[in-house]
Amino acid sequence: MIDLNNPVIRGYLIRLVGEEGLEMIRKMPEGEVTDEQIAQATGILLNIVRRTLFILNENKLAACRRERDSSSGWLTYLWTLDMSDVEPQLVKEKKRLVKNLRARLAFEEENVFYNCPEGCTRLKFKEATDCEFLCPLCGEDMMFEDNQIVTGIIRKRLAQFEKE
């Protein structure tokens, strides 16, 4: 079983299914259960249970088996959680985040930025010269931005990822 207190796993699952979805996963009964049984056992509203199961299924973290009742002919959907795919998915997500951060860092390092002091917009040097360093929205003088703070934050986040 995965560690739901692990902040990386928690964060990933909350982004995927929200706080209530995580609560459902935490209280999920063992074995095969119907959505109504899950709602009863967890105290989570049925529509949230269904939404959570759907998202988990899409992400291969929950499996569903259909069973037809021989006398009534009704279909029952039986659910089980399978969290074994969480770790490989986390690795994939981490790769994606690192790639995005590297691209963002390169963009920040390759460009010089000018900001409107009123906070309207941020322009690259070329765009700012095209506007003669006047904000295209409010007409204020654009100010040179020292983006060391931004690049510093990105570098710190990248370093954190590399440590994990």
- Judge whether 61 and 84 are in contact, CB under 8 Å: no
CA dihedral 121, 100, 145, 133 (to 10 degrees): -40
Q: Which tokens sit at 98?
A: 């690192």
Q: For residues 29 and 136, which CB has a smaller minimum distance to Zn ion in the complex?
A: 136
Residue 137 contacts Zn ion per CB under 5 A:
yes
* Smaller CB separation from Zn ion, 142 or 154: 142
Regarding 118 and contact with Zn ion (CB under 5 A), the answer is: yes
CB of 134 to Zn ion, least distance (A): 9
Beta carbon nearer to Zn ion, 53 or 116: 116
Least separation in angstroms between residue 23's CB and Zn ion is 44
Asked if 143 touches Zn ion (CB under 5 A), the answer is no
The verdict on 83 binding Zn ion (CB under 5 A) reads no
Determine, following the binding rule CB under 5 A, whether residue 63 of this chain makes contact with Zn ion.
no
CA dihedral angle for residue 55, residue 19, residue 91, residue 35, rounded to 10 degrees? -30
- Cβ at position 127, least distance to Zn ion in Å: 13
> Is residue 116 a contact residue for Zn ion (CB under 5 A)?
yes
User: Do 151 and 139 contact (CB within 8 A), yes or no?
Assistant: no
Residues 6 or more apart whose Cβ sits within 8 Å of residue 60: 82, 85
Spatial distance between the Cα atoms of 77 and 160, rounded to a whole number of angstroms: 42
Q: How many residues sit in the footprint of Zn ion (CB under 5 A)?
A: 7
Which residues here bind Zn ion, judged by CB under 5 A? 116, 118, 120, 135, 137-138, 140
